[in-house]
Structure 1
């Protein structure tokens, strides 16, 4: 005998049954099932929206945002064009977020650039940035990342609208071979300021520096984020006259921190050394200068287990860092990416590399994972090392395999 429809739907709504069915269902099937019944909608949708990849998926929740994300020829490259855009477009209001507000509390993780950001998003992000100064967009967000390898300027306007006091991780990954990271200093400071005043639970902050290249050049284009910020609150401009570390120093001690060498003023570097929770520390050198290291006590960096140095300009800088015992004696993981400027004549370069391997072996006794990369191009031959050359490291408790696939000019 067929059960009455009311009984059938009650059985279908049983959480245990739904979990069993969804274990074998695709994301698309789960979404279709969720649309079939209101109770099923609220049962299934939170898991489907917990991790969002790409801004397009967010914009689709608001017809106006989706429309603005497809605007072309917007003229947001000059101050006059930005002012004209603001004056000629309706600002976002709560009505534009009627559907968005149903889904946004479920979002815990946002991966901003699944396939790389596109310039067409700037109109939508501009309106969203202005609106985010009046209310929180993602109230329960835990992590925001821009970690996919993409070839475009890292633009803080892609993440600032989504900052929240619930945020614990903000990650702009530093990659070993990217010379085209290019975030203007003003935009960097705006992001740092926004993080310092909004994100009180932050534990991970990995941020790329302003203008990373072998010969950094100032950007001549108008900064969209800087112009919008001045329009929203002109008083912020006075705060932006401070150096970058001014905004980072008041933060609570972090667990993971990656930043630019140019941000590490000596007194701030000493403060980082006193963070009791810092386990992961990476520095990206955005100039040909080294680090101005302060005198650190033996108890500095008490919890550090990973040290990463990227685009190190020369071997002398690396050796100076390894003279700082409290920084290099504790990590079990070391990632070292030397800039192309380290390559001179092949014989001299290989001698310096071997000498530095000896330094690591002597001063970093707990290293289990060691990754060394020397930037190279077709003008220089790849390093050729004999197995016996690695005797310098025989005292280290290294793993049996490289942590990542080796390239011909990498050393593990």
Structure 2
């Protein structure tokens, strides 16, 4: 039973406080000497006796935005112990979803283990993209090298800033180009010691031509993502001349925060990089969308080029415009250029499709195999969701803009016991925004719903897709469901899950479907107000 329970409880740890809680509470000893004393080896072994029962089971360690910071005494014990022992001997992955800084980096460093195969700073879905300073980047790479980690996946976007650990003394080569060269040389020197990677996310200001050629020679590389500088200074980034054999097995390419012109040049002129892709994700520099003068946006001009250069593309994520500045009114016929691709997943940000009376029907016609659709800035009414369901019954996930005020147009039979045909859609990402330049959050959103509206909202979604759940992401800066606070999203999903179970019960009575509780909804609203 122990061997069955431990992997379930400790394989994935998303709160390091659980680990520090395994250490005994330090005894309060009156210290005559003010100088801090290093713990003895025997006392450390005793301290970690209980810790080491659980530590071997940990495979994935996650650091969220609200990073627990241990007390100095706790952290000192972990640091001293890590000098002679591997703290988590079977750790495979570390992922971080927050800006680090050296204070937080000091919490992570003791847990780096020789067994580590993946380190991810991200995820990269929405702005802002977390990144390391150059000094943090150097510290992390050095630690991975010292521990002889045989990495397979490395995601470490880095900025040009030196961070708080820089020496303060001027370097003769302290120009912007010099900084780039130092980071690039370190990157190029350290990576061969880790072995060819299967996945790499790196900043454009770290990449030099020699480094790019080395990366292109890796036969194991399947995923490659390039992140531009947060200040937009990427003018000097360009790919070198590559052999036709470069990037032989690359499947996914991500291009983030680069200018539209740079992205266009890469897709058009680096065939060995893009020719074999099955997935591409492009989030250009936001400053490209400050006015409507760019018509059509360069993102739309990319579509026929992608079809020509990436004929095997199955997944396309493209930010046509940044919705914070502009939602481009795009004729639905512009997407016809993609119909020759074997697309299974399509996500287009910053567009509102026009010149079509039935957008779902048109999309179903040109993308018959589509299983995942994202049009987060194309706003529909709640009634339109039924059309999406009927025209695209094969969808497994949907991201769409919704008019929260249109819920009043929905009609539902409350006497229906809730048994509905099954559809594969499991995930719905609902966005609620005003339409127009400089998008603002819509004042009428599910957070302002009455209990009766909440009941209608949940039952209607369940009647369309009995197994649906609202997308819930723990990324604070994401626009994802930003108008539905996390506690409310959980409340909605709990009710949707209950309705799903009821839908499968053939002997269910109508009265038994009253799963919503007005008192619980009021508690949920109160919890959200307290957080604010």
Identify whether the pair has TM-score above 0.5, normalized to the shorter chain.
Answer: yes
2:314·2:342 contact (CA, 8 Å) conserved in 1? Answer: yes
2:61·2:91 contact (CA, 8 Å) conserved in 1? Answer: yes
Partner residue in 1 for 2:82 = 132
Structure 1 residue 408 corresponds to structure 2 residue 377: yes
Partner residue in 2 for 1:141 = 91
What is the 5 A alignment of 1:148-159? 148=97, 150=98, 155-159=104-108
Partner residue in 2 for 1:51 = 12
Match of 2:292 among 336, 342, 346: 346
2 CA distance for matches of 1:192 and 1:303? 25
For residues 252-307 of structure 1, give each alpha carbon's deviation from its aligned partner in whole angstroms, at most 9, with x where no partner exists.
00111111112211101101101011111111112521533121111111111111
What is the 5 A alignment of 1:212-227? 219=163, 221=164
Higher relative contact order (CA 8 A, sep 6+): 1
Structure 1 residue 187 corresponds to structure 2 residue 128: no
Give the C-alpha shift of residue 191 in structure 1.
Answer: 0.4
Structure 1 residue 336 corresponds to structure 2 residue 282: yes
Structure 1 residue 384 corresponds to structure 2 residue 329: yes
What is the 5 A alignment of 1:226-375? 243-286=186-229, 287-290=232-235, 291-312=237-258, 314-322=259-267, 323-374=269-320
Query: CA 1:300–1:123 in structure 2 vs 1: closer, same or farther (change >3 Å)?
Result: farther
Query: CA 1:383–1:121 in structure 2 vs 1: closer, same or farther (change >3 Å)?
Result: farther
For residues 83-106 of structure 1, give each alpha carbon's deviation from its aligned partner in whole angstroms, at most 9, with x where no partner exists.
xxx953654822221111111112
Runs of 5+ consecutive residues of structure 1 not aligned to the other structure = 1-39, 68-85, 212-216, 225-238
Give the C-alpha shift of residue 383 in structure 1.
Answer: 1.4
Look up the SS of the partner of 1:181 in the other structure: coil
Partner residue in 2 for 1:97 = 48
Match of 2:152 among 179, 189, 203: 203
1 CA distance for matches of 2:62 and 2:252? 24
Corresponding pairs, count = 330
For residues 123-170 of structure 1, give each alpha carbon's deviation from its aligned partner in whole angstroms, at most 9, with x where no partner exists.
644553453232211111122222x5x577594334321122212222
TM (norm. structure 2) is: 0.56
2 CA distance for matches of 1:117 and 1:62? 19
Match of 2:57 among 106, 127, 136: 106
2 CA distance for matches of 1:241 and 1:373? 29
2:101·2:132 contact (CA, 8 Å) conserved in 1? Answer: yes
2 CA distance for matches of 1:369 and 1:204? 21
Which segment is superposed worse, 399-408 or 195-204? 399-408
Match of 1:63 among 9, 20, 24: 24
2 CA distance for matches of 1:382 and 1:45? 49
TM (norm. structure 1) is: 0.70
Give the C-alpha shift of residue 352 in structure 1.
Answer: 2.3
2:312·2:341 contact (CA, 8 Å) conserved in 1? Answer: yes
Runs of 5+ consecutive residues of structure 2 not aligned to the other structure = 29-33, 168-181, 345-366, 380-398, 401-532
Partner residue in 2 for 1:27 = none
Give the C-alpha shift of residue 327 in structure 1.
Answer: 0.3
2:251·2:276 contact (CA, 8 Å) conserved in 1? Answer: yes
2 CA distance for matches of 1:123 and 1:373? 47
Query: CA 1:299–1:242 in structure 2 vs 1: closer, same or farther (change >3 Å)?
Result: closer
Query: CA 1:222–1:124 in structure 2 vs 1: closer, same or farther (change >3 Å)?
Result: farther
Give the C-alpha shift of residue 178 in structure 1.
Answer: 2.5
Query: CA 1:121–1:168 in structure 2 vs 1: closer, same or farther (change >3 Å)?
Result: farther
1 CA distance for matches of 2:37 and 2:76? 11
Match of 2:36 among 88, 92, 114: 88
2 CA distance for matches of 1:384 and 1:372? 15
Query: CA 1:406–1:152 in structure 2 vs 1: closer, same or farther (change >3 Å)?
Result: farther
1:49·1:107 contact (CA, 8 Å) conserved in 2? Answer: yes
Root-mean-square deviation (CA), in Å? 3.3
Query: CA 1:87–1:387 in structure 2 vs 1: closer, same or farther (change >3 Å)?
Result: farther
